Amino acid sequence: MGKYSRPRGTHDVYAGAEKWEDDSVRWNVVESLWREICRIYGYQEIRTPIFEQTELFKRSIGDGTDIVSKEMYTFDTPGGDSITLRPEGTAGTLRGYLDSGLYARGGVTKLYYIGQNFRYERPQSGRYRQHQQLGVEALGADDPALDAEVIQLMLSFFRKIGVSRTVVKINSVGSSESRAIYLTALKEFVRPFLEEFSEEGKARFANNPLRMLDTKSPRELEILTDAPSLTDYITDDERVHLETVCGYLTAAGHTYEIDPHLVRGFDYYTKTAFEVQSPDLDAQNALGGGGRYNKLVEQLGGPPTAGIGFGIGMERVMIALQRLGAELPLPTGPTAFVVTLGDAARQAGVNLLSQLRDSGIAANIEYGGRSMKAQMRAANDSGAKYALILGDDEVASGTVQLKNLADSTQVAVGLDKVVGMLRGV
């Protein structure tokens, strides 16, 4: 309708949208449940800037990754600094952990966030250029029980909101040392087939060989079926770590798949990497993913500090929930809707509305001098429990008609009594 449209790959989120990924009412419900789960697990909120120094992302995510090499929204400020809109939440959270001195408190620091991220990707179902993540980062221990905790937190959240079908994939990506040996073996294996790889596959071979495993090309997947497995190259300590994490998950009754080909698009991972996928999504089927990054805090100039976390894609969660026909605990409408006929009643009605709201009762009214019928329709559409109807007769007798909109019963109540009656309804 207007002159401008939203940028490609973005969307508006507003009340009552048909698509759940656009419906702010449902977003609020899911975000509240997310905060509730984080509280139960003992995580505190961190809010970091939506932009950071470009260097922070280059250092942490890695120069050879798709995100850093082609997807970042980077610009120079008038002051000459290079700034990037955050493409993910981990780097900024760790920067904040160091910057604000949280690390100095010692022990394990458990943080959660809700935030917007920006990636210049090709938009498709479940893939946006601005997306929201719900994430956690737990810093200060290399304990496999902490890996199990964050994975369980994610799964508890999915269960709580009604994502009833998930596939959990888990792997160990070792350390940079064990990975280096593995990558040599992987490249040796792929070299004779390299001509059959796409341009992107060849580029990955040269710049970020681990990412070759992340291909969607059927031919490349076929070649890679017999490729050496990273799990055969990790150290005993790394293998035991993975087994212990799996042991905790099994004991808690979770099912998961160990996927030796699971790699993620970031250089910072060490040991555990995991992803939770949904059969109810399209090609972009990861609801969330994460892993350990035991060297990252040090890389950002902090003391040696192990850490693990994950990010969940809000839009994808909403798409899956809608397709699953999930029932979210949606908020109810206002308690009261004031309907008036005539000038004197309008005066009394506006006054009554203030009294209701001052008493903490959710109440609404229609504006614009609309007919009684239109006001009643607005009252019904709002989901209100009661219409409080005022006309000349009511003003004269100091009463109001209290109409129960569910069963259409109606009684006259004293204007001085109605607020008290509705308190606690």
Kindly state the smallest distance separating residue 269's Cβ from ligand HAM, in Å.
Answer: 7
Nearer to ligand HAM, 272 or 375 (CB): 272
Based on the shown chain and the rule CB under 6 A, indicate whether residue 90 belongs to the binding site for ligand HAM.
yes
List for the chain the helix, strand, coil content (%; round to 5): 45, 20, 35
Based on the shown chain and the rule CB under 6 A, indicate whether residue 127 belongs to the binding site for ligand HAM.
yes
**CA distance linking residue 132 with residue 312, whole number of Å:** 8
Nearer to ligand HAM, 92 or 201 (CB): 92
Cβ pair 296, 312 in contact under 8 A = no
**CA distance linking residue 147 with residue 153, whole number of Å:** 10
Non-local CB neighbours of 193 within 8 Å, separated by 6+ positions:
223
Kindly state the smallest distance separating residue 130's Cβ from ligand HAM, in Å.
Answer: 8
Part of the chain binding ligand HAM (CB under 6 A), chosen from 25-33, 184-192, 310-318, 326-334? 310-318
Part of the chain binding ligand HAM (CB under 6 A), chosen from 173-181, 313-321, 387-395, 411-419? 313-321
In the set 26, 86, 131, 271, which binds ligand HAM (CB under 6 A)?
131
Q: How far is CA 51 from CA 7, 55, 120, in A?
A: 19, 11, 15
In the set 96, 115, 135, 334, which binds ligand HAM (CB under 6 A)?
135
Q: How far is CA 8 from CA 120, 124, 127, 285, in A?
A: 10, 10, 11, 21
**CA distance linking residue 59 with residue 304, whole number of Å:** 16
Site string (245-274) toward ligand HAM, x via CB under 6 A: --------------------x---------
In the set 21, 23, 52, 137, which binds ligand HAM (CB under 6 A)?
137
Residues linked to residue 84 through DSSP beta bridges, in sequence order: 52, 74
How many residues bind ligand HAM (CB under 6 A)? The answer is: 26
Based on the shown chain and the rule CB under 6 A, indicate whether residue 174 belongs to the binding site for ligand HAM.
no
Nearer to ligand HAM, 135 or 391 (CB): 135
In the set 26, 110, 316, 385, which binds ligand HAM (CB under 6 A)?
316
Nearer to ligand HAM, 312 or 348 (CB): 312
Number of C-beta neighbours around residue 12 at 10 A: 8
**CA distance linking residue 379 with residue 323, whole number of Å:** 30
384: left (phi over 0), alpha (psi -120 to 50) or beta: beta
**CA distance linking residue 62 with residue 204, whole number of Å:** 13
Based on the shown chain and the rule CB under 6 A, indicate whether residue 288 belongs to the binding site for ligand HAM.
yes
Give me 30's structure tokens: 């899911």
Based on the shown chain and the rule CB under 6 A, indicate whether residue 311 belongs to the binding site for ligand HAM.
yes
Nearer to ligand HAM, 126 or 174 (CB): 126
Q: In the β-sheet with 51-53, what is the strand arrangement from edge to edge?
A: 51-53, 82-85, 74-76
In the set 111, 163, 286, 348, which binds ligand HAM (CB under 6 A)?
286
Q: Between β-strands 363-365 and 386-390, what pairing exists: parallel, antiparallel or unpaired?
A: unpaired
Nearer to ligand HAM, 283 or 406 (CB): 283
Based on the shown chain and the rule CB under 6 A, indicate whether residue 128 belongs to the binding site for ligand HAM.
yes
In the set 115, 140, 209, 309, which binds ligand HAM (CB under 6 A)?
309
Q: What is the 3-state secondary structure (H, E, C) of 250-264?
A: HHCCCCCEECCCCCC
Q: In the β-sheet with 386-390, what is the strand arrangement from edge to edge?
A: 363-365, 336-340, 386-390, 399-404, 410-414
Based on the shown chain and the rule CB under 6 A, indicate whether residue 66 belongs to the binding site for ligand HAM.
no
Part of the chain binding ligand HAM (CB under 6 A), chosen from 86-94, 155-163, 226-234, 367-375? 86-94
Kindly state the smallest distance separating residue 87's Cβ from ligand HAM, in Å.
Answer: 7
Part of the chain binding ligand HAM (CB under 6 A), chosen from 196-204, 214-222, 239-247, 288-296? 288-296
Based on the shown chain and the rule CB under 6 A, indicate whether residue 339 belongs to the binding site for ligand HAM.
no
**CA distance linking residue 346 with residue 26, whole number of Å:** 34
Task: Report which DSSP code applies to 124.
Answer: B
In the set 287, 365, 379, 389, which binds ligand HAM (CB under 6 A)?
287
Part of the chain binding ligand HAM (CB under 6 A), chosen from 11-19, 83-91, 206-214, 405-413? 83-91
In the set 66, 147, 280, 315, which binds ligand HAM (CB under 6 A)?
315
Residues linked to residue 11 through DSSP beta bridges, in sequence order: none
114: left (phi over 0), alpha (psi -120 to 50) or beta: beta
Q: Which residues bind ligand HAM (CB under 6 A)?
A: 88-90, 119, 121, 126-128, 131, 133, 135, 137, 265, 286-291, 309-313, 315-316
